[in-house]
Amino acid sequence: MGSFFRNQDTRSRSTKDSTSCLPWIEKYRPKSLNNISAQEETLITLNHFKDSLPHMLFYGPPGTGKTSTILALARELFGSELMKSRVLELNASHERGISVIRERVKNYARSCIVGDSDRNKCPGFKIIILDEADSLTKDAQEALRRIIEKYSELTRFCLICNQVSCIIPALKSRCTLFRFKSIGTENMRNRLSYICEQEGINYYSEALDELIKDSQGDLRKAITWLNNASKLHKNDRVTVDTIKETVGIVPDDIINDLIESAASKSYDKIQETVSNVIASGYFGKQIIEQVFFQVLQDLRFSENHKCNIGESIGIVDKRLVDGGSEFFQVLSLMCKISENMN
């Protein structure tokens, strides 16, 4: 009997340890719709639809609770026991081709339902979640449209994307659209404060202000950064500098150096400054974003010049996303800024 209780205690400790090792974004993922932040209109509609769920298309900025919402809804519909057999979750950015849709998705959509729906008081259908559906090729989306039409009695689909314009009209017309808005400042603060309280983290309120500002309504990003900041300075209070270091914010004096190098009209000076900044390990996308905000406030640039620079930043940003050299892209931008400086 003594060994039984020891085994029970060991299992309990093991569960707690595994939870404590989870990234905070998973540890604090909402388990029910009531815990979802800042999407009141969507939640009200979903609660009305529970008994007759349509196909759904969730769209909006990253980190606003799209995936968490459908997982919480599925948990409420099926319970934890049936979740694994009733829900298929795929990331379309990894599996974006037509073969995945024709094989894996189609096979799951037409498969028989496992589990007793009446006994468990849950709906008689499965759910397929396609995250980052805007990454699906047009052919894959066309194939998906036909599968949705054919297997609607057995399966409901939830497509999740950031850019709804990348979804073909034929798919959009078969889904109920739900728009997810960026998380507001107050909701962000409440959630981050709650996590700090649960984790026993001391922080300055200004640090949370900086975190909220830098994450730009992306709660997932804010929680990840807070997690990293707490590990970076484990026993210290989280400060604004801690957050900036974690996020990778480029110090103002470095951004000013870049702008002044452009003002010098000297290519050698620009190249040297850009080289030093990149060698310091700052991200190219972060550099160009902060440079642009600085340009917007600089009286040496006319409105016309700011428009030209904004267009150049869009081009540079695309090249960085496509894997272009950070050094050459930032150098290209600073040369363009130099050309447009009075």
- Kindly report the CATH number assigned to the domain that includes residue 131: 3.40.50.300
Q: Is residue 1 part of a domain?
A: no
**167, 35: one domain:** yes
Last residue of a domain, one of 142, 162, 179: 179
Number of folded domains that form the chain: 3
Regarding whether 291 and 218 lie in a shared domain, the answer is: no
Residue 37 dihedral angles phi and psi, to the nearest 5°: -90, 135
Output the pLDDT for position 105.
86
pLDDT grade, residue 110 (50/70/90)? confident
**Whole-prediction pTM value?**
0.81
pLDDT at 197 over 90: yes
- 15: in domain: no
Sheet holding 126-131, edge to edge: 87-91, 126-131, 155-161, 56-59, 176-179
What is the rounded average pLDDT for all residues in the chain?
Answer: 87
Phi, psi torsion values for 282, nearest 5 degrees: -80, 145
Residue 276 is assigned to a structural domain of this protein: yes
What's the CA angle centered on 183, arms 192 and 222, to 5 degrees? 40
- Poorest-pLDDT segment among 4-18, 121-135, 154-168: 4-18
pLDDT band at 20 (very low <50, low <70, confident <90, very high): low
Position 145 in a domain: yes
17 lies in a domain?
no
pLDDT in tens, 47-101: 888 878 999 999 999 999 999 999 999 999 988 888 888 999 988 766 666 777 8
Same domain, 206 and 310: no
pLDDT, residue 60, reads 94
Q: Could you tell me what percent of the chain has a pLDDT over 70?
A: 89
Among all chains, which residue has been given the structure tokens 């037509």? 98
Residue 95 has a pLDDT of: 63
Share of the chain above pLDDT 90, in %: 61
Q: Is the pLDDT of residue 124 over 90?
A: no
What's the pLDDT band for 108 if we cut at 50, 70, 90?
confident
Alpha helices in the chain (DSSP H): 2-20, 24-27, 40-49, 66-86, 98-100, 106-110, 117-120, 138-150, 169-172, 185-199, 205-215, 219-232, 240-247, 252-263, 267-279, 284-297, 303-321, 326-339
Confidence at 114, pLDDT banded by 50, 70, 90: low
Q: Is residue 12 part of a domain?
A: no
Pair 39, 159 in one domain: yes
* Mean per-residue pLDDT, 151-165: 92
| Cβ atoms 282, 245 nearer than 8 A | no
Q: Residue 263's domain spans which residues?
A: 252-339
Residue 263 DSSP label: H
Q: Say yes or no: 316 and 218 in one domain.
A: no
Last residue of a domain, one of 125, 151, 179: 179
334, pLDDT greater than 90: yes
User: Does a structural domain hold residue 22?
Assistant: no
